Structure formats: C-alpha cells, structure tokens
Amino acid sequence: MKEKLTEAILWQKERNGVRCFQCFRKCFISKGKSGFCKVKQNIDNKLYTINYGKVVGLIVEKIEKSPLFHFFPDSNALFFGLPGCNVFSDFCSGFELSRGLHEKSIQEIEYKKLSPEDLIAYAEKHKCNSIIYTYTEPFVSMEFNFRTAKLAHRSNIKNVFVTNGFASEESIKKIVKYLDAAVVNIKASASEEFYQRFMNVKSVQPIFENLKRMKKYRVFIEITDLIVPQLGDSLEKCGELTQWISSELGSEIPFHILPFYPEYSMTDLPATPTSTLEKCATEAVKTGLRFVYIDNSPIITGENTYCYNCNELLIERVAGKVKKINLVDDRCPVCGMRVNVLR
C-alpha cells in the first residue's frame, strides 16, 4: 500500500517549482526533487513532507539532558525527533540520525510511526512536564511539530525546541505561540570560517537574528557552544559570542560550554582539553554572563548554579543530574536575589 504523504506548510508555488520557507535556506525545489533537508519533496508542484510521524529516539529523561538547567529543573521530559536536518555536519549531536539520512533514504531509517496525539498520551502517561523536540532539526519538521506543540499546550505540557538556530522567520512566527523554550546549539563559538568549512553554512547571521526573535517573543533561551580543538577553539571568538549574548540577550542567559569527543568520522581530532574549557568559561564570565556551565565533562564539575550576588549554592548537579535545589520560588534563600530559573 502506497504511503499517504502530508502536505507541507510554509511553502509557495513558483515558476517551474515550489519554494519552502521552513528554514533559512528557503530551498527552491523543482518537480520531482527534494529540498536540502531530504524530507521535503515536490510532487506535481505541491510540497509534501515525507517524515510525518516517523519518530526516532523516543525516551523519557530529566530535562537537564537537553541541556536545560534553568527551565523547570529536575522535571521529567519526553525527548523525540523526526528525521531531517538543514546542516548535515559531522559535528552535530544527532550525527547518526542526520548524517545517516543524508547518505541514504528515509526508508532505511528506523522509526516508530506515531501521531501527535500518541506523543501527548505518552507524555501524560509518564508525567512529563515538557516535550523536547531534539536529535535532529525541529524546524524542518514543522508539520508534525506544530500540531504536537499545539496539543501539548492544551494538556499543559511545555514545548522545547533544541535547534541549530537556522530557522526561517516564518517558522518562528508560526510556532512561537506554542514554543516555551529553546536550546540553541552553537558550534565553535559561531566562527563563520568553521561553519563554512564544516557546517554547509555560508553565514552565521541567521543564528543571531533568530536568537533576538526568540527573545522578542519571550521564548526561554539557553545556549550551548561546542568547543572543537584545533578547528574551533578560539578564545577570541568565544569572547565575541558571549559579549554579544550579554549585550543583546541579557547577562542571565544560561551558557553551556560543551567539550568535543572524537566520534564518528572525526576520529583524528582529540577530545577538547580541560584547560581550554576552563579558559572559555573564564572568558564568558568576563563578558558579563552570570550562569556559565561546563557540561558533559567527566573531569570538570562546572554544573552547579550559584547566586551571582552572594555565591550561595542554589542548584547542585552531578553529571547533569540535580542533587539539590536550594531556592525560594525563583530567589536566593540567603540574599533574596531573583535568579533566572523557571519552576
């Protein structure tokens, strides 16, 4: 039986094809062809999505795995993704899913066929406070994700996109009513040279534009920065990025410094040295950021949240797991200073 495809959203007909408006690429797609993401197809000059309901990586975890440290800490979250990406890089956290799709057809990807209603029921059954749209790029799967997010709000479940930041303005305006938080994953401190060489991206400007849009629409934001040894570990670039965040988004934006580990096809690179991570953290603090973390490192315990006024320990974490929360609502119990933590 031939699979029934779902018509895409955010597209329009043009001469000799269609144009998709879901991500920054805004691909022109000729009849019978696919977009860069591999999951949008032009069939008889109508745009369809071929990944609707093809869920990968379905799991319930604590929200800190996102990583989100200041958004409903220690709560349960349902993590899932759909095949499809608009970057396809060896340095993406969802490497196997995104790169695998780039090298073979979606029919070869293992998935569970689920509806948005199925996901909401699953989240409710497991008492999840939020749904994390992750593993691949959520903004290229807006048909399924928009429907799911809308239903989630009806059930009082929060929606979190884990994104590379390369959405279109149209996509952000479409989802923002239902988007509660976003983790924006940046590589190599947004070095344009790095993105051009390894991320299939000519300019990093869309990331900064979309961060400002999310702030405007009051989406809760946390930012990660993957420090890649030898290729993307410039302290100057790290300082430029964190200075921009502090000036344009605010000093209370949580900033996560991520180490690179040699995996997949990048085995010729070493893991990011501890000293480099520490220097990046020091640079970030110098530019005014109040909540700087070093994540996913077995060597460093840079995961605790402290009051920036009196240095009281507010949230203790070990290996990304919350051990203790020492807050009165959103305030420090010692000095009463408000901190940027939603509970």
The DSSP line for 146-206 is HHHHHHHHHTT-EEEEEE-S-B-HHHHHHHTTT--EEEEEEEGGG-HHHHHHHSS-S-SHH
Mean pLDDT of the chain: 92
Scan for tokens 């990046």, then name that residue. 280
Domain 54-303 in CATH 1.10.287.950? The answer is: no
The better pLDDT of the pair 336, 302 is held by 336
Mean pLDDT, to the nearest integer, of 306-332? 96
Report the candidate in 343, 307, 304 with the shortest Cα–Cα distance to residue 322. 304
- pLDDT at position 92 is 72
Residue 288 structure tokens: 């005014």
Global confidence as pTM: 0.95
Q: Which amino acid is at 20?
A: C
State the CB neighbour count (10 A cutoff) for residue 68: 25
Mean pLDDT, to the nearest integer, of 43-56? 96
Assess whether pLDDT exceeds 90 at residue 90: no
Q: What are the boundaries of each domain within the chain?
A: 6-49, 54-303
Assess whether pLDDT exceeds 50 at residue 95: no
Backbone angles phi, psi at 102, to 5 degrees: -65, -30
- pLDDT at position 276 is 96
Least confident among 44-48, 204-208, 259-263: 259-263
Tell me: the pLDDT tens digits for 258-297? 998 887 456 688 989 999 999 999 999 999 999 999 987 7
Measured CA angle at 78 (ends 154, 161), to 5 deg: 75
